[in-house]
Structure 1
Amino acid sequence: MKTINPYTGILVALTVITCWFISLYLLLAWDFAWNNPLVYLMVLVQMHLYTGLFITAHDAMHGTISANKKTNNFIGYLSVFLYAGFFYNRLYAKHHQHHSYVHTKEDPDFAPHGFWKWYFRFMLNYVTVIQLVIMAIAYNVLKIWVDERNLLLFWVLPSLLSTFQLFYFGTYLPHKGEHDNEYHSSTLQKNHLVAFITCYFFGYHLEHHQEPRMPWWQLYKTKG
């Protein structure tokens, strides 16, 4: 088996963070017209990059960014804070609770009562008052220099849309219904392009539970 360069995880993580930052910086400075179709495409691009931030933090939760724990956790802290002011320690505990108690009452990512109830339970398990305060402060500081329509369209909206992307493709679809495996998970039909675009290969969700220490950019290799 080919050995993975120990710095590749760091490089991938920093690439995602850098792409998100550059894209956001340019979009916040863009004097756009509402009738330009590129505007709406860029909202989706930025949404996907936000999802990449969260997936990067998720990799850190499984220790797959760097063998150096401090480096690994720092990138996890940074990614999830940039995503929406989240605190890595809280998400770390909740996520490992999901892996330990998948599809049970103790699973913070599970609610067997339909899409919307499940989504709101999912969000309430992770969103905190202090996080909302941080985001409110950041918004009001940023709007001193940034046009408010740019903030709403390229900073607020993509992050909100990203929560639906993460939830639908990374939690709801894989775990809804009953399954005949110990991880109570289904998996996306093999299509690496679709799997990447939808949720950075986390549609291959059964495979993720089977090999949780496989980084997202290697996860497609587990798909038979």
Structure 2
Amino acid sequence: MRYQVESTKGVSIAMLMIICWAGLLTFLLAGYTIRPFSPLTYLFVAIQTHLFTGLFITAHDAMHGVVSRNKKVNKLIGQICATLFVFNSYKRLFPKHHEHHRFVKSEKDPDYYEGNFFMWYFHFMKQYVTVWQIVLAAITFNILTLVVPQLNVILYWVVPSLLSTFQLFYFGTYLPHKGEHAENNVHYSRSQKKNHLWAFLTCYFFGYHYEHHHAPGTPWWQLYKVKEANPTEW
């Protein structure tokens, strides 16, 4: 199954994701007074975490060429979203992600690891985090704290970026690929039961992971349709 990339819709959704992430972050860093006992304080952490995850999902869609028909625009949006996701390298992510699809749950799969949750998460992060990324993040943190409150930077930039890596790993890698799979499960991928609201909130429908491997050319915002067309539970 191959989604026919629309000329503007994918770009519009990607730009909306970037604008929502940047707009809320700007407000939270410069215009929001943190109140420790206010539920809004922590709701904003959750929303910003979800938007960080959305940046990575958008970069992921670009890796599959489904953000824009124009290859240059598609790649540029992927690079922007990967960079905004705390200086991730699109150039580094691209080949590794396609190796994951090509060699899923094998020794050549960079996302797979035979171990418990925390060891697997450490292995997963080691594949993608670089020294330069950490250096750039540290520089950015120190620059931001010169002009906005440090607690705001920690709570709304640092914490959500870290939480989103757990969100992506847990719902998009660990749950789908852990344990044994049925012999006829050619993608070695488990899928969430059909619940589109929960699937969106947890990881932009990537809990429908068998469906993603079955139709990798489908953007995140169309993935629920693949689930509708594939009622089999894995």
Alignment-derived partner of residue 87 in structure 1: 89
Distance 1:69 1:4 in 2: 11
Q: CA deviation at 1:222?
A: 0.4
Contact 2:18-2:81 within 8 A present in 1 as well: yes
Q: Which runs of 5+ in 2 are unaligned?
A: none
Alignment-derived partner of residue 49 in structure 2: 47
Q: Does 1:212 align with 2:216?
A: yes
Alignment-derived partner of residue 168 in structure 2: 166
When structure 1 is superposed on structure 2, of 30-39 and 128-137 the one drifting more is 30-39
Distance 1:33 1:175 in 2: 40
The 5-angstrom pairing of residues 165-204 of structure 1 reads: 165-180=167-182, 181-204=185-208
CA change 1:4–1:109 in 2 (3 A) is: closer
Alignment-derived partner of residue 72 in structure 1: 74
Q: Does 1:17 align with 2:18?
A: yes
Distance 1:43 1:88 in 2: 25
Distance 1:8 1:191 in 2: 24
Count of aligned positions: 223
Q: Deviations over 1:200-222 (max 9, x none)?
A: 00000000000000000000000
Distance 1:105 1:128 in 2: 22
Q: CA deviation at 1:178?
A: 1.3
Q: CA deviation at 1:32?
A: 2.0
Q: CA deviation at 1:5?
A: 3.7
Q: CA deviation at 1:4?
A: 6.4
Letter in 2 for 1:193: L
Percent of counterpart pairs with the same letter? Answer: 54
Letter in 2 for 1:31: T
Q: Deviations over 1:102-124 (max 9, x none)?
A: 00111110012110110000000
Q: Deviations over 1:152-211 (max 9, x none)?
A: 000000000000000000000000011121110010000000000000000000000000
Q: Deviations over 1:80-136 (max 9, x none)?
A: 100110110100011001011100111110012110110000000000001101111
**Partner SS for 2:192:** coil
Aligned with 2:150 (options 148, 151, 163) = 148
Question: With structure 1 as the length reference, what TM-score do the two structures score?
Answer: 0.97
Contact 2:5-2:69 within 8 A present in 1 as well: no
Distance 1:208 1:49 in 2: 20
